[in-house]
C-alpha cells in the first residue's frame, strides 16, 4: 500500500491526531529485567523530541499499546500524552473511543505500529506508518515505512515527515 509522495502529503495534511504503539515502535522491542524493579525498555530521546514537536505544532499525540509496563507508563507521562491506553486487546475499540472523545474522524488520525495485531488499526486511520523491522505483512499495508529503526529514530522520522508536509489550518 505504500504510496507516492503526493498522496502521502495529502494524507498527512489532514492529520490532527497521531497515535503510537509503544513496544517495537517507540522501543526496539527488546525488554530488560532489572532486579527489584521488573521489566523495562529503552526509549530514544530523539523519538520523544519528535513527539514533542508534533504537540507543539498542535497535534494531539496518543498511545495505544497491548503491553503495560511501568517504564512505558512513565515515558508516556514524561512526554505529556493525555490519551494513553495500556494492555489493549482491541486497539480499534480504544481508537473508536478516542475518536468520540476528541470529536475527530478516522481520516484525521495517524497510527504507527509494528505488528500484525496492529493491522486493523493501521487500516482504519487516514495515515499509517511502521518501522522497517515490522513483518512484511504489516509493511505492505501501511502508507509509510520508516528507514530508521524502531527505538532509534523511526518515530522521529515519521514525526518529521508529518511536520514537513502538514498544512496547518
Query: Which amino acids are annotated as binding site for substrate, given as ranges?
Result: 23
Distance CA 148, CA 110 (A): 18
Distance CA 162, CA 165 (A): 5
Binding site residue list: 21, 23, 114
Residues 163, 22, 47: CA angle, nearest 5 degrees: 40
Distance CA 167, CA 169 (A): 6
Backbone angles phi, psi at 110, to 5 degrees: -120, 155
Backbone angles phi, psi at 82, to 5 degrees: -85, -25
Chain center to CA of 79: 13
Binding site residue list for Mg(2+): 21, 114
- In the numeric block, the cell 494531539 is attached to 60
Amino acid at each position: 500500500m505504500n504510496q507516492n509522495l503526493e498522496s502521502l502529503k495529502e494524507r498527512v495534511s489532514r492529520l490532527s491526531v497521531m497515535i503510537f504503539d509503544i513496544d517495537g515502535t517507540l522501543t526496539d522491542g527488546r525488554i530488560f529485567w532489572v532486579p527489584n524493579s521488573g521489566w523495562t525498555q529503552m526509549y530514544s530521546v530523539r523519538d520523544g523530541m519528535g513527539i514533542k514537536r508534533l504537540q507543539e505544532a498542535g497535534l494531539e499525540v496518543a498511545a495505544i499499546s497491548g503491553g503495560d509496563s511501568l517504564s512505558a507508563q512513565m515515558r508516556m507521562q514524561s512526554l505529556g500524552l493525555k490519551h494513553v491506553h495500556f494492555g489493549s486487546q482491541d486497539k480499534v475499540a480504544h481508537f473508536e473511543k478516542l475518536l468520540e472523545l476528541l470529536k475527530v474522524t478516522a481520516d484525521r488520525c495517524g497510527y504507527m505500529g509494528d505488528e500484525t495485531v496492529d493491522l486493523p488499526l493501521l487500516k482504519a486511520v487516514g495515515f499509517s506508518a511502521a518501522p522497517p523491522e515490522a513483518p512484511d505483512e504489516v509493511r505492505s499495508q501501511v502508507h509509510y515505512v520508516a528507514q530508521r529503526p524502531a527505538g532509534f529514530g523511526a518515530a522521529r522520522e515519521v514525526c518529521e515527515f508529518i511536520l514537513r508536509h502538514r498544512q496547518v489550518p
